[in-house]
Amino acid sequence: MTALVTLFQVLTLANLVLLTGLAYVWGRNYADMRSKHTLGLLLFALFLLGENGMAAYFFLVDPQLSGWISNAQQVPPPAQLAMAALRVAQFGGLAFLTWVTWD
């Protein structure tokens, strides 16, 4: 079941890319406008960047954790499926948000 783990890892990196784009747009708008609305959007992007950054570290870099999630003996497939499903859902949300924001 390493495909699910790979999907999880790839989407974690994709989310980092999308969130960097969102933080860039909202950061620039905040610098221009200084409104609480753009600050809210910028902070939203920064917190989710932190979340995905931690996920990337835990499950791609840290030798113990990244070795552990790809081992079906230690993380059974249903749990890997659940982890991957969370990333898929987040990626879907961020992809649409980036699409409307980049406009």
Partner 1 sequence: MEASLWYVLTGTRGGKNRVRILRALDERPRNANRLAEALDLDYKTVRHHLDVLADNNIVRDSGDDYGAVYLVTDAARTHWDTIETIMEEV
Q: Which residues bind partner 1 (CB under 8 A)?
A: 25-26, 29, 32-35, 37-38, 41, 100-103
CB of 44 to partner 1, least distance (A): 11
CB of 38 to partner 1, least distance (A): 5
Any idea which residue has 């933080």 for tokens? Answer: 23
Contact 102, 25 (CB under 8 A): yes
For partner 1, give the closer residue by CB, 1 or 49: 49
CB of 101 to partner 1, least distance (A): 5
Contact 70, 7 (CB under 8 A): no
Q: How many CB atoms lie within 10 A of CB 58?
A: 15
